Copies of this chain bind each other. A is one copy, B any other.
Amino acid sequence: MIKLAVLCSGRGTDLQSIIDAIKAGTLQAEISIVITDKPNVKALERAEIAGIKNICIDRKTFDNRADFEAEILKNLAGVDLVILAGFMRILSPEFVKHFTGRLMNIHPSLLPSFKGAHAHRDALAYGVKVSGCTVHFVDEGTDSGPIILQAAVEVKDDDTEETLSARILEQEHIIYPKAIQLFVEGRLKIEGRHVKILEAAK
Which A residues fall within an 8 A CB radius of B? 110-113, 125-130, 132, 134, 146-152, 157, 192-197
Contacts and interface: CB of A to CB of B under 8 A. Distances in A.
B110 A110 contact: yes
A111 B112 CA distance: 10
A128 B194 CA distance: 8
20 contacts: A110-B110, A110-B128, A110-B130, A111-B113, A113-B113, A126-B147, A126-B193, A127-B146, A127-B147, A127-B192, A127-B193, A127-B194, A127-B195, A128-B150, A129-B134, A129-B149, A130-B152, A152-B152, A157-B194, A157-B196
Contacts of A196: 157
B132 A147 contact: no
Contacts of A152: 110, 130, 132, 152
Query: Which of A125, A130, A194 gathers the greatest number of chain B CB atoms within 10 Å?
Result: A130
A134 to B, nearest CB: 8
Contacts of A194: 127, 157
Contacts of A148: 129
A128 B149 CA distance: 8
Contacts of A150: 128-130
Nearest to A155: B150
A144 B73 CA distance: 43
B147 A128 contact: yes
Contacts of A146: 127
Contact of A113 (B110, B157, B193, B197): B110
A193 B126 CA distance: 6
A1 to B, nearest CB: 27
A149 to B, nearest CB: 6
Contacts of A127: 146-147, 192-195
A172 B36 CA distance: 44
